[in-house]
Amino acid sequence: MERLVFGSPMRYIQGRGVLNEALNWLNPNHQNICVVTDAFVLDFIQSTLQRQAEQKKLSIDFVVFNQTITRTHLQNMFDQVASNIPDIVLAAGGGMSIDAGKALAHQFNLPFITIPTVASNDAPTSKNYVVYTDHHQMDYVGHLDFSPWAVIVDSEIIAKAPKKFLLAGIGDAISKKFEAQACLQSQGKNMFATRSSITAVAIGDACFEQIQQHAQAALAIAGTGQSSDALEMILEASILMSGLAFESGGLSIAHAMTRGLTAIPETSRQMHGLQVAYGLLVQLYLDQQHEELNQLIIFYKKIGLPIALKQLGLTQIDKATLHIIADLTLAAPHCKNFSSVLTQQDLVTAMQYIENLDGKER
């Protein structure tokens, strides 16, 4: 049997107010801190982190990154930091800020901590980050050598974030059960280029169960600032469990579909998790899991996830557009983690089927 690598953050901390202890998780060598965030998040985290740094007599700088993650924008950030290279990077905010912080840590071979302020995907838990072209198409995926030093999930902050972010995080997480299973069954590779971990597959199964049980209740209070057990469960599922499942379990068609969907202007504007949720429907059809597909569509309708390209903003669904999506999906490495070799027509047929489902099935 091939070797196995299972990766995870060194520490995962979740709860209301845990931002107030963020710097407690540093080690004595972390004297010089660089926080990468956006202007909006800076307003409500700066004083908290600054106060902790002063109490611990640590140096702390804040780098504001408000741009799309492209090679040019990243290089500008690298040049800004090069004169005072930190000991550790704190990446705080949404997916853009967190990926920018990871890229900075990668550039200078530094440990990093993630502090998500929304739960729109599982990026905080992973060692990967995505870089885009100037036209917002995926350029490449960067891979750090190590997982985060710590992930700090302050549920008091995330509870105030708009509902749409939590919904996207659920859409990203719900696929991991099926993608990790597909990777294991096809003897595919996980994010560490080794065989899929059965531990990660089990985590993906548990993640799916938590979403089924708690998503509706968590979404009902999302954005209000209220706390609940359901919200805490969904945060753990969509950030920690989802991240562990995909990195050590592997990805498949659902995530491969994002390569095609980001090439179409209308669908590229949708959040990653919504694209993945739709991609999972395509994967289930291709894998002939029709009962699971029908049940998932019912669940999507209950919580508001997209069940058609129309709901991702695509108004004109013609064969030429479907061919573009299919071709770029097939070019994604995750397509190898599937039970059969797919063709362009396989994907086009799957998308047409899902688009044409009648009202009864939906």
Among 34-48, 128-142, 188-202, whose mean pLDDT is lowest?
Answer: 128-142
Distance between CA 8 and CA 60 in Å, rounded?
Answer: 26
Whether the CB-CB separation of 179 and 255 falls below 8 Å is answered with yes
Whether the CB-CB separation of 64 and 100 falls below 8 Å is answered with no
What digits encode the pLDDT tens for the residues 72-105? 999 999 999 999 999 999 999 999 999 999 999 9
Q: What is the per-residue pLDDT for 8? A: 98
What digits encode the pLDDT tens for the residues 55-78? 999 999 999 999 999 999 999 999
Q: What is the per-residue pLDDT for 136? A: 77
Q: Which two tokens stand for residue 306?
A: 């997209």
Mean pLDDT of the chain: 96
Q: What is the per-residue pLDDT for 105? A: 99
Per the DSSP assignment, residues forming a β-bridge with 93 are: 116
- Ordered structural domains, the chain, with CATH: 12-158 (3.40.50.1970), 163-355 (1.20.1090.10)
Binding residues for NAD(+): 38, 95-99, 117-120, 126, 132
Cα–Cα distances in angstroms (integers) from residue 284 to residues 140, 146, 197, 279, 344, in the given order: 26, 32, 21, 9, 16
Distance between CA 132 and CA 362 in Å, rounded?
Answer: 34
Q: Which two tokens stand for residue 307?
A: 């069940």
Burial class of 156 by CB neighbour count within 10 A (0 to 12, 13 to 18, 19+): middle
Q: What is the per-residue pLDDT for 1? A: 87
Sign of CA dihedral 261, 266, 272, 273: negative
Q: What is the per-residue pLDDT for 354? A: 96
Neighbours of 288 (CB within 10 A): 11
CA 157 vs. chain centroid, Å, equals: 18
- pLDDT mean over 256-279: 96
Binding residues for glycerol: 122, 172, 255, 272
Strands 138-143 and 128-132: antiparallel
Binding residues: 38, 95-99, 117-120, 122, 126, 132, 172, 255, 272
Q: Of 81, 80, 90, whose CA–CA distance to 52 is shortest?
A: 90
Which residues are within 8 A (CB) of 35 and not within 5 positions of it... i.e. 6 or more apart? 45, 46, 49, 60, 61, 62, 63, 89, 90, 91, 92
Q: What is the per-residue pLDDT for 357? A: 83
- pLDDT mean over 44-64: 98
- Indicate the pTM of the whole model: 0.95
Q: What is the per-residue pLDDT for 361? A: 45
